A = this chain, B = another copy of it.
Amino acid sequence: MVAGPAQSPLVQASRRRPVPHTPVWFMRQAGRSLPEYRKIRSGVAMLEACMRPDLVVEITLQPVRRYGVDAAILFSDIVLPLKAVGVDLDIVPGTGPVIAEPVRTRADVERIRPLEPGDVPYVSTAVRELVGELGATPLVGFAGAPFTLASYLVEGGPSRNHERTKALMLGAPDVWAALLDRLADVAAAFLRVQVEAGASAVQLFDSWAGALSAADYETYALPYSSRVLAAVADLEVPRIHFGVGTGEFLGQLGQAGAEVVGVDWRVPLDEAARRVGPGRALQGNLDPAVLGAPVDVVAQRVRGVLAAARTAEGHVFNLGHGVLPDTDPDMLARVVDLVHTETAG
């Protein structure tokens, strides 16, 4: 039997089983830090790139070829499934997602319809092709968590303070619940499409959850993330759950249902293991800004992450957030090699 992605270090570490080396991949490994990415994206808008299977396949493969990472992550954007269910939005360079008509009322919520597999044929096509190309390397599918998707929809775009989101959440809790229910369904359906086309793992990104206190996270975000994760449990692929600035509620995050909890660079992984508790693997958590330091400093920090991860029941090496656009790809290549050599055996 030829070893497939189900036997890969990523999947095995996620299941807290022995691995030949610690698997490593990077959030945003496909993207602006790669010259081959900037070249292929030249003149192509972000949303268009996400909807063209040929580009999705090529961009997803670029970092796998270059770095020999232990996982590919589908090139896409967390707002893509919203676009696919009819939300009028664009991804504006230098700004991010811009929503034409922000969601503020129950009528706005009711216009968000469920996602059907036929809404994202380009995703299914790209995933099937990628799985063929990747061989034993697993493909990670992903979706945005309901709170983060809601923030984009309510604010109308990226937000520093999420004030309109919180005003709706606290001022109209019934509208909020209806919105997050729908977004949970959209996110779950989008993950399901990817796994059914062959993805070997999924990651639920709650990029903005760190704007919430632990109490508000537990009331207004966690139940919906849990719903998404529960809705794909039957697919039997590892589920990774990541947010930034979530140190105050890593314990709750660990209870949301994922096999793997992603941790940003603010909480050392040994402390994260204590907060998350037993029965979970951890993913993380090198500060992406550290990659701008000299190589000996980067190496020392990588070893520090690996040392802190020793108490974790399973460890997937990653950054504590996405690759920054100015990152030197050669430094990422060195990190992959170092993680592999340090943990081999």
- Contact residues of A with B, CB < 8 Å? 161-167, 170-171, 210-216, 245, 247-248, 265-268, 287-290, 292-294, 297, 321, 324, 326
Nearest first, the 10 A-B pairs at minimum CB distance are A167-B292, A170-B293, A166-B289, A163-B289, A171-B293, A170-B297, A171-B294, A163-B292, A248-B266, A213-B266
- Contact (A166, B324) CB under 8 Å given A245-B245, A247-B248: no
A213 touches B265 (CB 8 A): yes
B289 touches A267 (CB 8 A): no
> Using Cβ atoms and an 8 Å threshold, which residues of chain B touch A266?
210, 212-214, 245, 248
CA–CA, A294 and B289, complex, Å: 39
> Using Cβ atoms and an 8 Å threshold, which residues of chain B touch A245?
210, 245, 266
Can you name 5 A-B pairs with beta carbons within 8 Å?
A: A163-B289, A171-B293, A171-B294, A211-B289, A215-B268
> Using Cβ atoms and an 8 Å threshold, which residues of chain B touch A170?
290, 293-294, 297
CA–CA, A256 and B212, complex, Å: 27
B297 touches A171 (CB 8 A): yes
- Contact (A161, B248) CB under 8 Å given A171-B297, A265-B213, A268-B213: no
Q: Which residue of B lies closest to A245 (CB)?
A: B245
| A16 vs chain B, min Cβ distance (A) | 25
| A184 vs chain B, min Cβ distance (A) | 23
> Using Cβ atoms and an 8 Å threshold, which residues of chain B touch A216?
287
Number of copies: 2
> Using Cβ atoms and an 8 Å threshold, which residues of chain B touch A171?
292-294, 297
A289 touches B167 (CB 8 A): yes
| A27 vs chain B, min Cβ distance (A) | 13
| A52 vs chain B, min Cβ distance (A) | 29
> Using Cβ atoms and an 8 Å threshold, which residues of chain B touch A167?
289, 292-293
A164 touches B292 (CB 8 A): yes
> Using Cβ atoms and an 8 Å threshold, which residues of chain B touch A210?
245, 266
| A173 vs chain B, min Cβ distance (A) | 9
CA–CA, A245 and B161, complex, Å: 13
| A152 vs chain B, min Cβ distance (A) | 16
| A161 vs chain B, min Cβ distance (A) | 5
> Using Cβ atoms and an 8 Å threshold, which residues of chain B touch A162?
289
> Using Cβ atoms and an 8 Å threshold, which residues of chain B touch A165?
289
CA–CA, A170 and B214, complex, Å: 32
> Using Cβ atoms and an 8 Å threshold, which residues of chain B touch A211?
289
CA–CA, A167 and B167, complex, Å: 38
CA–CA, A294 and B166, complex, Å: 11
Q: Which residue of B lies closest to A298 (CB)?
A: B170
CA–CA, A38 and B168, complex, Å: 27
A161 touches B293 (CB 8 A): no
CA–CA, A214 and B267, complex, Å: 8
CA–CA, A328 and B170, complex, Å: 16
> Using Cβ atoms and an 8 Å threshold, which residues of chain B touch A324?
161, 163
CA–CA, A38 and B202, complex, Å: 48
Q: Which residue of B lies closest to A165 (CB)?
A: B289
| A141 vs chain B, min Cβ distance (A) | 26
| A108 vs chain B, min Cβ distance (A) | 17
CA–CA, A216 and B337, complex, Å: 25
